[in-house]
Structure 1
Amino acid sequence: MIKMIRVDNRLLHGQVAVSWTHDLGADAILIANDAVPADPVRKSVMKMAKPEGTKLVIKTIEDAAKALNSGVTDKYKLFIVVESVPDFVRLRKLAPQLDFVDLGGAPTREGTTHYDKAVNLTDDEVAQVKQLVADGVDVFVQMVPTDSRVAITKLIN
């Protein structure tokens, strides 16, 4: 069962590893990212950050979609983390059952507009988010579990 899908440019870090995993009751974290599986340093850091007793799986976006579609993840209370809006869009194209996403961390970059707390999006990302919403995906912002969810449609026009 998928408990949460989160866009967070930091992927696995203290807030995600502790607050979200505990609050969700997640017993597995799936990092879907094309760069991390080939980066031993980043993989090692994420393995150290994972909460004790929680399974950590790091896969490319394509391999993550294959795992989600095959049913092997169904036995877990799964927390999925992707690095960016485009990564979520790619994952969802391959695993269309993903029908919600929390925009938890998109940093300030050149060409971004600030929307909420740590959510900064380019025009292309805004267009992608609007398309997700049009496709029926529940897109929201919730930085920490104790915050209320804010529908992205309240933040972007």
Structure 2
Amino acid sequence: MANIALLRVDDRLVHGQVVTKWIGEAGAKEIVIVDDYLATNTYLSSVFKMAAPHGVEVVTYSSETFVEKINSDSFGEVPLLVLFKSIEILGKVYSLGFKNKNVQIGGIGANSDRKIVFQSIALSESEAQKLKEIQQKGVKVIFQRVPDEKPSDLSMILKKKFKNLI
């Protein structure tokens, strides 16, 4: 079974907060980016590899390849920081049979379809619905940007911002 130290959705992927705070907090030794587009873009994947601190490997997989590697226990015991760029891909890996009991939503920027739901984290109604479906599988979904910030549970976000989904 893979040693997932932290599973996080963050549309910026490998950036300052992840590098300076979450890698150390989670004790991660490897960053796994799960994104169907980035898995086919070697240039962008190399940019994220360069952004990681010395000694931390960065690998990028499509959603299907990630689930195959998890199911075949290819990661061993190395503590992993698993990053998703979008809730869409997160939902896809869960629909492919991925099982992990914790998801952290750490950074999703606002746009015309999204509203701010926690600090600077924004969700669309369809993203909130997808997270609710993941939560209904027994997954704890929290919102937290940085380690020293008190997290907020998805249930509270839904009650405050998406009452129609309760």
TM-score, structure 1 as length reference: 0.94
Give, in whole Å, the separation in 1 of the partners of 2:133 and 2:94: 12
Tell me by how many angstroms 1:87 deviates: 1.0
Within 2, Cα distance between the matches of 1:58 and 1:144?
Answer: 23
User: CA deviation digits over 1:86-136, x for unaligned, max 9?
Assistant: 111111222432221111111111121210123211111111111122221
Q: Are the counterparts in 2 of residues 104 and 118 from structure 1 also a CA contact under 8 Å?
A: no
How is 1:7-156 mapped onto 2 (pairs within 5 angstroms)?
7-156=9-158
Unaligned runs of 5+ in 1: none
**Secondary structure at 1:155 match in 2:** helix
The farther-off stretch of 124-133 and 93-102 is: 93-102
Q: CA RMSD in A?
A: 1.3
1:40 Cα deviation after fit? 2.8
What number of residue pairs does the alignment pair up?
Answer: 157
CA distance in 1, matches of 2:33, 2:152: 24
- Residue 91 of structure 1 aligns to a residue in which SS? helix
Moved over 4 A (4+): none
Unaligned 5+ segments in structure 2 are 160-166
Cα offset for 1:41? 2.7
Tell me the secondary structure at the aligned position of residue 101 of structure 1: strand
Q: Identify the residue that residue 162 of structure 2 maps to in structure 1.
A: none
Distance, in Å, in 2 between the alignment partners of 1:73 and 1:36 is 20
Q: Deviation digits for residues 24-79 of structure 1, max 9, x if unmatched?
A: 11011100001112223311210111111112111111111111111111321011
SS at match of 1:2: strand
- The answer to whether the 8 A contact 2:8-2:82 is kept is yes
